[in-house]
Structure 1
Amino acid sequence: MRSTMAREPDSPWRSKRLPSTGGHQPSERVQRADPRAELRLYGFNAVRAAFARRPEALRKLYLTQARIPQLQLLLKWCVAHRIGYRVVEESDLQKLAASSHHEGVVADVLREEPLTLEAWLRDLPAGPQCAIWLDGVGNPHNLGAILRSAAHFGASAVLLPEHSELALSGAAARVAEGGAEAVRFVRLPSGDRAIARLREAGFGLAATVVEGGEDLFSAALPSRLIYVLGAEGEGMDRGLAAACDLRLSIPGSGAVESLNVASASAVLLAAWYPKR
């Protein structure tokens, strides 16, 4: 039996018309997109935010019948720009996303490369700015939650060390609920150069530590601020922490040792937000 994913010789891989709300499109199996070039997004807000900001990045779309009314603009774009889409079953989306949290839509989009530090600083407006430097953080759900908080509180970037393997995944984008499109990833040069360049641009760097830091809520936070957060479980590189201008701790009841990195980032950004 011929696969429903096969391309017709004289037409792009897509439905010829917008699917109606009746009827049923066949199930299908597809190969995963090349992770080096494309990103498989899933979740309604993640897909919608990517389409709103960079529709030209869309490569393929899969959705359930129930999502057709909410995604009419996206489907019309697919028709106008010869982008492949299919109406599929919930079970197909679960396989495509490798997750039950697909929320009725999966999209393959071109992966966005991190900015260089110089490019980010060049285009950064004057005035209050905040970004988060992630030193070793790797859990995709924590990354997604950090991106969501960063978007909510107006942080402009997540800064990645030179050799960090951290990258946006479908799981992180889904947890971010659209925040992944509002916050850019920035690739840093070696630590000393990055710190020097950030200070030249008017940023203060604040290491976040479990104990021994200044109380976050009483500290005088600079209006241009980089929060440096360490890896889950391992903490921050000591040399990096020592090079920062501030050491901050989040006070609490002591019933637990600390907040996880995602929860801590939300508290830290909320403390900075009045400066904005």
Structure 2
Amino acid sequence: MHRDPPGNPPRRPRSPGASPWGQAPSREREARPIERAPRPRPLQEHLDDGQPEQGGAAAARERRSVELRLYGLNAVRAVFAHRPQAIRKLYLSEDRIPALQPLLKWCVANRVGYRVVDEVDLHKLAASTHHEGVVADVLRAEPESLSTWLRDLPAGPQCALWLDGVGNPHNLGAILRSAAHFGVNAVLLPKQSTLALSGAAARVAEGGAEVVPMVRLGRTDNAIAQLRSAGFTLAATVVQGGSDLFATPLPQRVIYVLGAESEGMDRDLAAACDLSLSIPGTGAVESLNVAAATAVLLAAWRSKRVNA
């Protein structure tokens, strides 16, 4: 069974049968047309040249709190498609210039700094070898409030995911990718959750992070009341003891509640849900991990909506 890596904060007691699912620089030289891209400088030089002269570590921390370093071709393209104004800096390998010409032209037109760098520098910028030849510093998209999300929600069938304790960035990225594929309307984050989008999660999401909004909940009891008032049914996902996902009619508006790997969801939250659902299997393994389980749950909901 897959488990999240150690290091997650201590969790509240797991309910019986609860699911284990669930788990920079600033001063660039002026942007130039593509054919005149500047010759790469050593990485440390172009990292240091944008550091503020005053503020030091505090300014760097503040910048990190509002900016996110993305990497991966689809992740960066998705930001350009949905929030181009959020892009602050761009780094790319020379062989990515043809694929990213529209983005580079936009950078030139909007005086956003970009730099052609070598592979080693991209590894350092991304802190990963999975950058696919492009790294970007972008402004974070702040989570919406539940009231705002519900106010703007279209009528008709809707599905959202409540993530109670999921912390692994690769799981989050895979969940966002499935959520975008199946048309999920939001990922709901508990009030005290520290879960946030990271570069690794955005890369795994393959653009899904820009399609599926994150919504910050208030007090749990108030959030549940608001969701029920909007016509949602809360469905706890459990390993054993829940209704068979494939044999149970699903409501038109459903919130799948998923708990962290190993610990499961909070027992009080599980008890407050309207349904408990389990994914039947052979029993050869204990369960699916949270990302795989999410894909199955969403496929079941989508299938029943399409065939209704």
Short-chain TM bin: over 0.9
Aligned residue runs from structure 1 range 66-215, under 5 A: 66-215=95-244
Unaligned runs of 5+ in 1: none
Contact 2:31/2:112, CA 8 A, preserved across alignment: no
> Which residue of 264, 269, 279 corresponds with 1:240?
269
Cα deviation code 1:73-95 (max 9, x no counterpart): 10011001100100000110110
Cα deviation code 1:53-87 (max 9, x no counterpart): 01000000000000000001100110011001000
State the number of aligned residues: 267
1:16 matched to which residue of 2? 32
Q: Distance in 2 between matches of 1:208 and 1:80?
A: 49
Q: Distance in 2 between matches of 1:220 and 1:85?
A: 52
Q: Distance in 2 between matches of 1:123 and 1:246?
A: 26
Cα deviation code 1:192-220 (max 9, x no counterpart): 00000000000000000000000000111
2:250 matched to which residue of 1? 221
Contact 1:206/1:246, CA 8 A, preserved across alignment: yes
Q: Distance in 2 between matches of 1:220 and 1:213?
A: 13
Cα deviation code 1:89-125 (max 9, x no counterpart): 0110110000000000000000010000001011110
Q: Distance in 2 between matches of 1:160 and 1:240?
A: 13
Contact 2:88/2:139, CA 8 A, preserved across alignment: yes
Q: Distance in 1 between matches of 2:177 and 2:36?
A: 34
Partner SS for 1:148: helix
Cα deviation code 1:28-57 (max 9, x no counterpart): 232678321100000000000011001000
Unaligned runs of 5+ in 2: 1-24, 49-59
Contact 2:173/2:209, CA 8 A, preserved across alignment: yes
Structure 2 counterpart of 1:28, one-letter code: L
1:254 matched to which residue of 2? 283
Q: Distance in 1 between matches of 2:216 and 2:94?
A: 40
Contact 1:6/1:13, CA 8 A, preserved across alignment: no
TM-score normalized by structure 2?
A: 0.84
Query: Are residues 255 and 25 of structure 1, via their aligned partners in 2, closer, same or farther at CA, if it must alter by over 3 Å?
Result: same
Structure 1 counterpart of 2:74, one-letter code: N
Q: Distance in 2 between matches of 1:121 and 1:106?
A: 34
Give the superposed CA RMSD. 1.6
Shift of 1:19: 3.7
The answer to whether the aligner puts 1:271 opposite 2:300 as a matched pair is yes
Shift of 1:18: 1.7
Q: Distance in 2 between matches of 1:59 and 1:121?
A: 31
The percentage of counterpart residues that share the same residue type is 70
Shift of 1:232: 1.0
TM-score normalized by structure 1?
A: 0.93
Contact 2:185/2:213, CA 8 A, preserved across alignment: yes
Q: Which has the higher contact order (CA 8 A, sep 6+)?
A: 2
Contact 2:31/2:111, CA 8 A, preserved across alignment: no
The answer to whether the aligner puts 1:26 opposite 2:41 as a matched pair is yes
Shift of 1:17: 2.3
Q: Distance in 1 between matches of 2:226 and 2:196?
A: 23
Shift of 1:15: 3.5
Q: Distance in 1 between matches of 2:236 and 2:92?
A: 43
